[in-house]
Amino acid sequence: MATYGSVVFATANTAQTTYGCNTPAGQFAKFTQDGQLGGLTSYTGGPSCTGSQQAGLAYNIGSLAPGNTGSATFAVGFERVQAINYLNTTQTGYYRSVWPTISEQVDFFLGDYNNASSQSHSLDAFVRSKATSVSSSWGSAYADILEASVRQAFAASEITVRHPATNGLFGTRESDVEH
For residue range 72-112, what is the model confidence (pLDDT) as tens digits? Answer: 899 998 888 888 887 888 888 888 889 988 889 999 999 99
- 111 plus 142 within the same structural domain: yes
Domain count, the chain: 2
Let me know whether 86 and 174 are in one domain.
yes
By residue range, what is the domain housing residue 54? 6-76
User: Does 102 share its domain with 169?
Assistant: yes
Rounded percentage of the chain residues whose pLDDT exceeds 90: 25
Span 123-152, average pLDDT = 92
Is 1 a member of any domain?
no
pLDDT in tens, 19-39: 888 888 888 888 888 888 875
Q: N- to C-terminal Cα distance for the chain?
A: 27
101 in the same domain as 116: yes
Tell me the backbone φ, ψ of residue 107, rounded to 5 degrees: -60, -45
In this prediction, residue 56 carries a pLDDT of 86
Same domain, 113 and 63: no
- Inside any domain, residue 124: yes
> What's phi and psi for 89, nearest 5 deg?
-125, 115
The pTM of the full predicted model, rounded to 2 decimals, is 0.70
Pair (14, 46) in one structural domain: yes
